[in-house]
Structure 1
Amino acid sequence: MSRYMLIMRVADPSAAEAAMAGVEFDQIIESMGRYNEELIKAGVMLAGEGLCQPEDGFVVDFDSDPPVVTDGPYVEAKELFNGFWIIETSSVEEAKQWARKCPLGPGVKLEVRRVSEIEDFAADNPWVQKEIQWKADLAEKAAKTARAAAGR
């Protein structure tokens, strides 16, 4: 099994706005909800979130020392990331099938990237070993939190 990140990119914000003109926001939420539900029922969705407007974010530019933080909106950006999904599929072909089903329209692209797995790195590297331990610690912490919440 491999994990893939589906990154929603708005290529041209004005084109995306025009494509959505006349479409009720409730319709957009419904189509995304149906897509998410289909991913969940198929057992492939691990995470998915929409992103707030760029005015609520910032960019950290590492071209200088110290890095420079610039508040949004990002006038130099040609594309904006609007949301993402992380899915786990048995093949890249299955990931492509799910990506094609996403209810997006003109002016929007979906970039799909495989998420690195710990097995992609040398197992004898001390930082890889630390990463394995960090993930185990986080999983244990999440399990404790879940047990505590269930006991309330």
Structure 2
Amino acid sequence: MPSPTDAFLAEMLPRQIAAERAMHNGDAEPRSATWSHADPVSLYGAWLPIRTGWADVSAAFKRVAAQFSGSREYRFEVVAAGASGDLAYTIGFEHNTVSVNGEPTTYTLRATHVYRREDGEWKIVHRHADRPPDEPEPEPGKTLTETHSGYAR
């Protein structure tokens, strides 16, 4: 029998990764579907002011998705995760190769998510993402977490 954390990750990560790939191709709807529409929800975005409440958060998703196109890679590198009862979290790095306002770019964000189980389904209720401080590139063949902390899930 899988642990609560493993069961949570097996259920949520495939949906979340698919939603983020869609987001980075300009479609905010799949991301919106992974989020709770019941307040409180909050977004501390990498390039936006803090957003609270579903109306503000969903509007921010649409605005950000409109800037993305041509996603060539989206990868979520989980550093830590946990689940207990109806709450869960993930902490990791999001690696993106995408066009932003038509300009190709590659970047990495640190991302923390908090989840709440609603009617038996995991939903995101909080996201905080930002650029990591300047750090050396990962060692060849290793992830950022393996290079910098020795921890990889």
TM-score range for the pair, normalised by the shorter chain length: under 0.3
Higher strand share goes to which structure?
Answer: 2
Higher helix share goes to which structure?
Answer: 1
Q: Which has the higher contact order (CA 8 A, sep 6+)?
A: 1
Structure 2-normalised TM-score? Answer: 0.23
